[in-house]
Amino acid sequence: MADASLKPEAFGRLMAELRPRLHRYCARMVGSAVDGEDVVQEALAKAAEAFPAAGAIERPESWLFRIAHNAALDALRRRKRQAAVRSDIDIGDLADSSAAADARVAAAASLAAFMNLPAAQRSSVVLMDVLGYSLGETVEILNVSLPAVKAALHRARARLKALAGAPERSTPILSAAERERLRAYADEFNARNFDALRDLLAEDVRLDLVNKTRLAGRKDVSVYFSRYAESADWRFAPGLAEGRPALLVSNPADPAGAVGYVVLLDWTDGKIAAIRDFRFAPYAMESLIVARF
């Protein structure tokens, strides 16, 4: 897309349209579908703030991905998992007859596998093999040289291919108390005992209805349960999402019982301190690893 005179309304639509693709990128950069959403929110906030003073943006999509890329790197630095983006040695126009097959391996790799790559390799392989951007577009987004992207891509594909047969990490084990607390919450929700759940809210509770709205304070967050009371397309079950305690939500009308989205809770002194509900962010499920009890 190239529109140097992009209007605010069109820019808002573009951000909404690109959000799932931005999430696919950020989730693989930070190794987590949940943390990837944090990075997307940060990137879109920065983009919205910068847009009025940005002037003519020749390629808005590349501009947004560059902001997301930098936000992901900032997140990695904060987590001390990776230092500043490192440069790969130039290997020129190295030919690779198996590149197409290796690209398919990269596209199917797990989030954990991507975390075995340096950031420069990770960003190149995600942009090209997962999201389908061209070499030229990848160079523009990452603001590095063409030989550097080729080198990073070659090494990333080789590394992911080597990791393809490695066993996955074992599933974390929750304590009996954690399991019981999740199960009790799910049971109350499924029984529509919303007043009992409201009683569990801390006074300063925070709600992140991802890709929809954010609320804070017990009074405002209480409305969250009223919205669920108006619908019947959900059933909660305790489980794990990326190894952390979660409520797995499915549609009772779905005979397969597929998990449509998840809800994460934070507790403090027996009270719910934060709710993070992915009902309006189904794209996160594309890379989210969940497990039932």
- Helix/strand/coil (H, E, C) string of 171-221? CCCCCHHHHHHHHHHHHHHHCCCHHHHHCCEEEEEEEEECCCEEEECHHHH
Element of type H or E holding 35? helix 33-50
Q: Look at residue 125 in the predicted model and tell me its pLDDT.
A: 94
Q: Which 3 state secondary structure label does DSSP give 293?
A: coil
CATH of 8-163, one of 1.20.1560.10, 1.20.1250.20, 1.20.140.160, 1.10.150.120: 1.20.140.160
Q: Is 163 left (phi over 0), alpha (psi -120 to 50) or beta?
A: alpha
Q: Under DSSP, is residue 251 helix (H, G, I), strand (E, B) or coil?
A: coil
Task: Give the pLDDT of the chain (293 residues) as one tens digit per residue.
Answer: 334 568 899 999 999 999 999 999 999 999 999 999 999 999 999 999 999 998 888 899 999 999 999 999 999 998 854 343 344 434 344 444 445 656 666 666 788 889 999 999 999 999 999 999 999 999 999 999 999 999 999 999 999 988 887 666 555 678 899 999 999 999 999 999 999 999 999 999 999 999 999 999 999 999 999 999 999 999 999 999 998 999 999 999 999 999 999 999 999 999 999 999 999 999 999 989 999 88
The Cα–Cα gap between 119 and 110 comes to 16
Check residue 80 and give its pLDDT.
59
First to last CA, the chain: 45
The whole-angstrom separation of Cα 121 and Cα 154 is: 8
- In the sheet that 201-209 helps form, which strands lie side by side, from edge to edge? 213-216, 201-209, 271-277, 259-268, 244-250, 235-241, 290-292
Amino acid found at 205 = V
> What CATH number has the domain spanning 176-292?
3.10.450.50
Alpha-helical segments (H) within 80-118: 99-107, 111-114
**Entry pTM:** 0.84
Q: What pLDDT is attached to residue 54?
A: 87
Computed from CA positions of residues 226, 281, 287, 73, in that sequence, does the dihedral angle turn out positive or negative? negative
- Which pLDDT does position 168 carry in this prediction? 60
Q: How many helices (H) and strands (E) does the chain have?
A: 12, 7
| The predicted structure's pLDDT at residue 81 | 41
Whether residue 123 contacts residue 142, with contact meaning beta carbons closer than 8 Å, is answered with: yes
What is the signed CA dihedral for 213, 215, 220, 222, rounded to 10 degrees?
80
pLDDT of residue 56: 85
How is the chain split into domains, by residue range? 8-163, 176-292
